[in-house]
Structure 1
Amino acid sequence: MDRTADSPEHVPSVAVVGGGISGLTTALRLLTARDSASQDSASQGLAPAGVQVTVYESAPRLGGCLSRTELGGLLPGGADEGAEASLHRRPETRELMEELGLTPVHPSTAHGSRILTDHGLRAIPRGTLMGVPGDPRALAEVLSPEGVARVAEETLTPPQDGDVSCGGFLASRLGDEVVDTLIDPLIGGVYAGRCRELSLAATVPALLPAAQQGTPVLETVREVLASRAQTQGASIPGASGGNGQPPVFCSLRGGISGLIPALADRLTALGACIRTGTGVREIRAGRPSGEARPAVRTQAGWEQYDHVVLAVPAWAAAGLLREADPRTAELLSGIGYASSAVITAVLDDAGTDALSGSGYLVPPVRGSLVKASTFSSNKWPWLAAELPAGRHVVRMSVGRLGDTAWQQCDDAALIEAALAEWREATGQEAAVVHAEVRRWERALPQYAPGHAELAAALTASTSAGLSLAGSYLEGVGIPACISRARATAQRVLADLSSTILTKEHA
């Protein structure tokens, strides 16, 4: 396919490779921006007709890590089997829901998240920033007296340039116990990684000044909490607003994955072409002069476009760009990924009194298979309302960076092992009505120290006519993906405008 770029009626065309939340939101922004662009086509450089957008998705379905299950027919309306919520305090997801005519739902305020300790499940301490306290006394229920004392006796370290290891820095300041027991399951759990290998700037950016200036962490946390500032990292899993505070998370009835069909319907109505089950095998870059246009190769052959957006994982983008843009491919290859799995179970007669809380986290130092569990029907009122009395839905997450033994287990063995740990942690012996496994291979990017600089280098390095979007750039959460998608769409439109103006004045 070759859309003639020099014809007067030429409409700029964009290929979006990847049909997850990043790719679909990029496509939406490209199409909904055309009205404002056409209002001032002389300055914007875009034809009144806007752009033509084609979305390529190799899988038979859209959505990527936003996926739903009917739990063996027990929940026809569906529930999430991947990401299950979005941060409410960031506006991007709420704005997208409103644009798509969707109504957000929020977690129950009657339940809180806990952490597994040597003394059983304990409430995650309040008054912390991703487990880092302003007042060490808040940690008394989860740390030993020696651990609390070590936190209180913060050891100042010399100012450091640039980014640092989140876990390494906090261990040097506050001790190993608080990092291993509380901070690692909170921060590392978001990425299925290890907080000692993750970037402080990417995970808890509010604490970076303490590292760079050599000032106290405890004091910084108190200041942040007092000003009610929010970091860009994820909040405590399972937490919800209380005492008049806005909720931490939002979702949709039926699951946050409901964003995907709504996006697909809107894109189709706007004229986008969505091609599922169509893998892109190779990318050809354009030339800055515009004499050669970028193109994608599928099983059907090469197809030319004015711009190509890669909204796939970093490792997949690296493979596609190895020949066309080796420098960018090399940078992309440096981003590590972790695999994980979610076991979802429907339990009968669990007992609402005994099954309290919204879930729990497990410190990696315990050596457990299960790293976290969500009591989904406690957490989400809409889900509880769709279940018969006495039935509950729970999720168990497994998989951290470097853990591979679980990947050798078949689904039945994985379910059995995860449920055994869950029963030991909760004391529950409820009957299992249904259980299933959803594996997510190389799904969670790892934000190593210096990641922000790497993301900036990637944005700057791409060849003419190519752009990048995805969770490996500016955040793994849904709001961060939407934010990057919006920015990517604006860069694409600016590139198309520049190209058209150049041709008009040639």
Structure 2
Amino acid sequence: MSEITIVGGGISGLVAAFRLAADHRVTVLESGSRLGGCLQQSTLSGAIPIGLDTGAEASLFRRPEAKELAAELGLDVEFPSAEHSSQVFTGGRLHPIPKRTVMGVPAEAAEVAELIGPDAAKRLAHEVITEPIEGADTSLGDFLSERLGPDLVDTLVDPLLGGVYAGRCRELSLAATVPALLPAAREGTSVLDLVSRLLAARDEQATARPTGTGAEPVFMSLVGGINRLIPALADRIRAAGGTIRLDAGVTSVRGESGRWFVETAESTIESDRLVLATPAHVTKDLLVEEAPRSAALLGQVPYAATALVPALIELGSEPFTGSGFLVPPTEDTLIKASTFVSNKWPWLRSHIPAGTALMRMSIGRRGDGPDGWRSLDDAELIERAFADWQSITGRTGDRLLAAEVQRWDQALPQYLPGHAELIGNIDADIAAIDGLELAGSAFDGVGIPACISRAEAVAARLAAADA
């Protein structure tokens, strides 16, 4: 039975520990006072005792990792309401988000004409076929702007991608963010034709589903929020004999004579194997001596700072409909999105008082300066965010009952063009270092399923090494 130290108590570190704890002596070191990383819960100071997510709020259901993990942990999956849909705010009003698109890219210009306007729709319909890209990757936003025009990118694609990465699509990798569109870029063929085929395949899959089952949900959560994965994992790790230490910031790591030595402010932990499941900028600092090439490459992964304002509101006289809205960066607003949480997730409705609703307001994109929203204190941020929300929705009769601010500093890695090649070079370098593995959202995807997948692959390699 080997000893394995795992640095980082987010979803990646905990999944790796869960997979290893039964057959190995596992120690998880978390620098903070709580587990979960970007999966966090709040009760809004007791206003919502069951709690709601103040970080990631959902996981893709179409990927198997999160739903299979939830089933293994004995957690019941919840789905978004089919009664409500989302909108995008542009030109001073809210518009329905077109449904028949691939990350905002339609097969037909008519699908988005009302949103982007007749001139932009005409430009989109007359796609400019560009030469195949040089290399394996390119900027998503630049590629689509050249092909279909900037209006679609700025009005729809950018806010959709911003909701995932808190980034700007002209800076993000096509291969890493919307790989389904990559063949058109590499082959110099039509994006519109490719999207048409992708949508037809989607329709065929839906038709093949058993009668009465309806469309497969895109997203999933859990009662109490997707954050409930964290305590469930922690309980199972401890039950298997694993150790979890909070407030255990790691200052350095070193490999010596086939062993790994992890230094914290209070002790040195010695083990056979080491997993660093930390943000790229943290991992970089820890690997400067042991893996200088990988450390330098990890330093090339930028991060975005964001904030989230969850709020309980007393509803006015207007019906409260919809699941939320997105705001393009071209609009002069503080908030970039809002989720109407109690509309989107039916399990929450019975846990809030009658005549109230829960919603979340999102703030921040990569490139925001320090003198913008980050200079505001929490009270100012709540006030300005809610003022924006009321202006966008027209719901001036609603009143704030409880709200708080969750700030995420350097929480979301940005997948720039060439990200896959960058990570491939890091993985090749680390593979030559015995007993060291890396996991986390900076590698193969920022979503929960991607983090689980990499963590499970890491755990499988470590287990195989001891077989």
Q: TM-score range by the shorter chain?
A: over 0.9
Distance 1:113 1:209, change over 3 A: same
C-alpha separation in 1, matches of 2:422 and 2:97: 33
Of residues 376, 380, 385 in structure 2, which corresponds to 1:409? 376
**Correspondence for 2:96:** 123
1:102-154: CA deviation from partner (whole Å, max 9, x where unpaired): 00111111000100021511110011000000111000221110110111000
**Correspondence for 2:351:** 386
Of residues 136, 139, 151 in structure 1, which corresponds to 2:112? 139
Of residues 228, 235, 249 in structure 1, which corresponds to 2:219? 249
Equivalent residue letter for 2:188: G
**Correspondence for 1:87:** 60
| Identity across matched positions, percent | 52
Question: Is 1:219 aligned with 2:187?
Answer: no
1:407-429: CA deviation from partner (whole Å, max 9, x where unpaired): 11000111111111100000112
CA contact (8 A) 1:375 1:395 kept: yes
**Correspondence for 1:355:** 320
Number of residue equivalences:
454
**Correspondence for 1:339:** 305
C-alpha separation in 2, matches of 1:211 and 1:229: 24
Of residues 145, 155, 173 in structure 2, which corresponds to 1:171? 145
CA contact (8 A) 1:87 1:479 kept: yes
**Correspondence for 2:462:** 492
Question: Is 1:424 aligned with 2:391?
Answer: yes
Alignment of 1:254-333 (within 5 A): 254-286=224-256, 291-333=257-299
Paired residue secondary structure (1:284): strand
CA contact (8 A) 2:258 2:272 kept: no
CA contact (8 A) 1:285 1:325 kept: no
Alignment of 1:35-184 (within 5 A): 50-160=23-133, 161-184=135-158
CA contact (8 A) 1:359 1:373 kept: yes
| Deviation at residue 92 of structure 1 after TM alignment | 0.5
**Correspondence for 2:417:** 449
| Deviation at residue 496 of structure 1 after TM alignment | 3.6
Equivalent residue letter for 2:112: L
Paired residue secondary structure (2:202): coil
| Deviation at residue 382 of structure 1 after TM alignment | 1.1
**Correspondence for 1:467:** 437
CA contact (8 A) 2:167 2:414 kept: yes
Equivalent residue letter for 1:336: P
Larger Rg: 1
Paired residue secondary structure (1:54): strand
Q: Any unmatched runs of 5+ in structure 2?
A: 205-211
**Correspondence for 1:235:** none
**Correspondence for 1:396:** 361
Question: Is 1:21 aligned with 2:27?
Answer: no
**Correspondence for 1:502:** none
1:148-172: CA deviation from partner (whole Å, max 9, x where unpaired): 0111000000011310100000000
Q: Any unmatched runs of 5+ in structure 1?
A: 1-10, 33-49, 231-241, 498-506
Paired residue secondary structure (2:62): coil
- TM-score of the two chains, using structure 1 as the length reference: 0.88
**Correspondence for 1:437:** 405
CA contact (8 A) 1:14 1:309 kept: yes
- TM-score of the two chains, using structure 2 as the length reference: 0.95
| Deviation at residue 324 of structure 1 after TM alignment | 2.2
Paired residue secondary structure (1:473): coil
1:83-104: CA deviation from partner (whole Å, max 9, x where unpaired): 1110111110000000000001
| Deviation at residue 243 of structure 1 after TM alignment | 8.9
| Deviation at residue 431 of structure 1 after TM alignment | 1.1
CA contact (8 A) 1:296 1:304 kept: yes
CA contact (8 A) 1:339 1:399 kept: yes
Paired residue secondary structure (2:36): coil
CA contact (8 A) 1:350 1:392 kept: no
Paired residue secondary structure (1:195): coil
C-alpha separation in 1, matches of 2:247 and 2:92: 50
| Deviation at residue 485 of structure 1 after TM alignment | 0.5
CA contact (8 A) 2:52 2:224 kept: yes
**Correspondence for 1:40:** none
**Correspondence for 2:208:** none
| Deviation at residue 494 of structure 1 after TM alignment | 3.0
C-alpha separation in 2, matches of 1:339 and 1:119: 26
C-alpha separation in 2, matches of 1:327 and 1:403: 30
CA contact (8 A) 1:153 1:174 kept: yes
CA contact (8 A) 1:26 1:486 kept: yes
Paired residue secondary structure (1:444): strand
**Correspondence for 1:500:** none
